[in-house]
Amino acid sequence: MTERPTPAISERTAAFWTGGANGELLIARCQACGWWLHPPLPVCRRCHGRDIRPEAASGHGTVWSFTINRYQWSPSMPPPQVIAEVELAEQPGLRLLTSVVGCDEVTIGMPVRVRFEQAGDAWIPVFGP
Ligand code: ZN
């Protein structure tokens, strides 16, 4: 059983880390132009708008890249662990560094869907088939 370390939660990242309590993957989005921003930034990269708010993404994505960690960095996280970049369906280039869980084989381009693992006050978004 994996117990993930609790992330440092800041005002800017709170929605991302806690949205999973309601089953929501909350990603920062520019209210002026609709661009999704991850990690959350105070200013939109595309239009320089400053009205950035968390919105629920679909939770669907594809594996953009991955590696398999075989070293036990933490006693509560037995290897192997799949560390992956998942590109969300909402926007090209909108990628999360995350884990892929619940499957024996991972391939680039594989469709995945978010699920959440609780760690302290946080709900860590991870992905499975
Ligand atoms: Zn914008």
DSSP per-residue codes, 38-99: SS--SS-TTT----EEEEEE--EEEEEEEEEE-S-SSTTSPSPEEEEEEEETTSTT-EEEEE
In a domain, 29, yes or no: yes
Taking the centre of ligand 1 as the mean of its atom positions, its distance from the CA of residue 38, in whole angstroms, is 13
In a domain, 61, yes or no: yes
Q: What count of Cα atoms within 13 Å lies in the side-chain half-sphere of residue 92?
A: 0
Domain that holds residue 113: 14-128
In a domain, 5, yes or no: no
In a domain, 96, yes or no: yes
Taking the centre of ligand 1 as the mean of its atom positions, its distance from the CA of residue 32, in whole angstroms, is 5
The total number of structural domains that make up the chain = 1
Taking the centre of ligand 1 as the mean of its atom positions, its distance from the CA of residue 48, in whole angstroms, is 6
Distance from CA of residue 126 to its chain's centroid?
A: 6
CA distances from 126 to 37, 47, 119, 120 (A): 18, 30, 12, 15
- Supply the pLDDT for residue 1: 58
Structure tokens at 115: 């699920």
In a domain, 44, yes or no: yes
In a domain, 6, yes or no: no
Taking the centre of ligand 1 as the mean of its atom positions, its distance from the CA of residue 51, in whole angstroms, is 8
- Supply the pLDDT for residue 76: 86
Lookup result for tokens 């509560």: 76
Q: What is the pLDDT along the chain (129 residues), one digit of tens a residue?
A: 578 889 999 999 999 999 999 999 999 999 999 999 999 999 999 999 999 999 999 999 999 999 999 999 888 888 999 999 999 999 999 999 999 999 999 999 999 999 999 999 999 999 999
- Supply the pLDDT for residue 73: 87
In a domain, 8, yes or no: no
In a domain, 26, yes or no: yes
